Structure 1
Amino acid sequence: MTAQPPEPSPRPAPSGQFRASHDDREAVVERLRDAAAEGRIDLDELDSRLEQALTSKTHAELAALTADLPKPHSSASQPPLVLRGGLHGASRGPGRWEVPGHVIAHGGMGGVKLDFTRVECNLPEVTVEAYGEAAGVTIVLPDGWAADTSGMDPGLGGLTDKTTPDRRPGTPLIRLTGSGGMAGVVIRHPNRWERRRLERHPRQG
């Protein structure tokens, strides 16, 4: 009896033809909304792309909707920036510095100051985990940046939020968590002295 040749196994579908899941579609919807907030696409185009995203059946169809948009920065691979006030204090800024997706500040005995006024940050969101401890943490945001402080425990020292809710398109949302500790946490825009310094030394390039 002649052996029959094995039937060929089905060819795998190209990755772009894999069926899209609800999570895949939702991820594209979020990217499109971020792009509209940054001014990359107008509201009419956003509505059109959102409708296509919600009805897309494959990865290829979803990929076409974001092909002309910059890839989101991946902050997951970056370790968090950790600042410890210790006895003498610590600060980052007001010069340029690379902002990761997660910053942890421990006020310690000397305090910590985080100054974002000179940075360029393309992340949609930055988590700042602040612990006021004995000397406190101060966070300075540029005008046009906004903060969500709902996840912050004020502790004994309290939380002082002097930021405005008006978020300029293309700027990150600072999501503040942690605890005020004994000395508290302050988040604000530049004060008068800091504004004068910024005007005297405008950012170059």
Structure 2
Amino acid sequence: MSAEPSQPVPLRASDADREAVVAELQDAVADGRIDLDELGARLEVALAARTHAELAPLTADLLPVLPPAQPLLLKGGVAGAVRAGVWRVPEQIRAYGGVGGVKIDFTRVECRLRVVEVEVDGQAGGVEIVVPDGWVVDTEQVDPDLAGLRDRTTAQKLPGSPLIRLTGTCGMGGVTVRHLKRGERRKLLRESR
């Protein structure tokens, strides 16, 4: 008898998450991308939304045209480097593990991009990437090198969520891609209340 695959738990939306969507919808009206009737309908859904999955479709078709931006460069060096918390995701990220390693945590980010290019070089310290449930990571273009790639993500993509396209090499430190661990998930849920 085979076990049922576990379904990702939908992350609860905070007041700040709902307010961010409302602000984006208001900007879309100001830019002429949606009219007032559509704004009213979307606001009603946004204010009643309980999860990120309910909020995502409301702005998925409103991606603004952004000027090209410099890639985010993360170097592990000796002490390591961590990018976590609330931050805006650029189109390109380059992560070099160095000796101390690099951790990129996408679980609380603001991301309206369809694709995020992440170039990795595990070097000696390795690179760890944490993505929310519903985000998909394409690892086909990563060279496993000595330490290899550990992809612990699911292939279930939520509408409106970005695709993380990983390229580069795992080096001696390796590259790990994963969703939140149980303890991290509980901590995030407590913080969002």
Distance 1:199 1:70, change over 3 A: closer
Instruction: Report SS of the residue matched to 2:78.
Output: coil
Which structure has the larger Rg?
A: 1
- Please report how far the alpha carbon of residue 73 of structure 1 lies from its aligned counterpart in structure 2 after TM superposition: 3.7
Q: 2:74 aligns with which of 71, 83, 86?
A: 83
d(CA) in 2 for partners of 1:162, 1:90: 21
Instruction: Indicate yes or no: 2:126 matched with 1:133.
Output: no
Contact 2:63/2:113 (CA < 8 Å) preserved in 1?
no
Which amino acid in structure 2 is aligned with residue 103 of structure 1? I
Which residue of 2 is the match for residue 163 of structure 1?
A: 153
Which amino acid in structure 2 is aligned with residue 84 of structure 1? K
Instruction: Report SS of the residue matched to 2:141.
Output: strand
Which amino acid in structure 2 is aligned with residue 70 of structure 1? L
d(CA) in 1 for partners of 2:77, 2:97: 7
Residues 42-121 of structure 1 mapped to structure 2, 5 A cutoff: 70-74=62-66, 77-93=68-84, 95-121=85-111
Contact 2:96/2:127 (CA < 8 Å) preserved in 1?
yes
Contact 1:72/1:123 (CA < 8 Å) preserved in 2?
no
Instruction: Report SS of the residue matched to 1:97.
Output: coil
Instruction: Indicate yes or no: 2:143 matched with 1:143.
Output: no
d(CA) in 2 for partners of 1:136, 1:201: 28
Which residue of 1 is the match for residue 24 of structure 2?
A: none
d(CA) in 2 for partners of 1:103, 1:158: 20
Contact 1:101/1:123 (CA < 8 Å) preserved in 2?
yes
Tell me the alpha carbon deviations over residues 11-44 of structure 1, each in whole angstroms, 9 at most, x when there is no partner. Answer: xxxxxxxxxxxxxxxxxxxxxxxxxxx757xxxx
Superposition CA RMSD, Å? 1.8
Contact 2:141/2:168 (CA < 8 Å) preserved in 1?
yes
Contact 1:73/1:122 (CA < 8 Å) preserved in 2?
no
Tell me the alpha carbon deviations over residues 87-129 of structure 1, each in whole angstroms, 9 at most, x when there is no partner. Answer: 0000000x11110000000000000000000012110000111
Aligned residues: 137
Contact 1:73/1:123 (CA < 8 Å) preserved in 2?
no
Instruction: Report SS of the residue matched to 1:196.
Output: helix
| Identity %, equivalent residues | 54
In the superposition, the TM-score normalised over structure 2's length comes to 0.67
Structure 2: tracts of 5 or more residues without a match: 1-55
Moved >2 Å (runs of 4+): 69-74
Q: 1:189 aligns with which of 179, 182, 190?
A: 179
Contact 1:137/1:186 (CA < 8 Å) preserved in 2?
yes
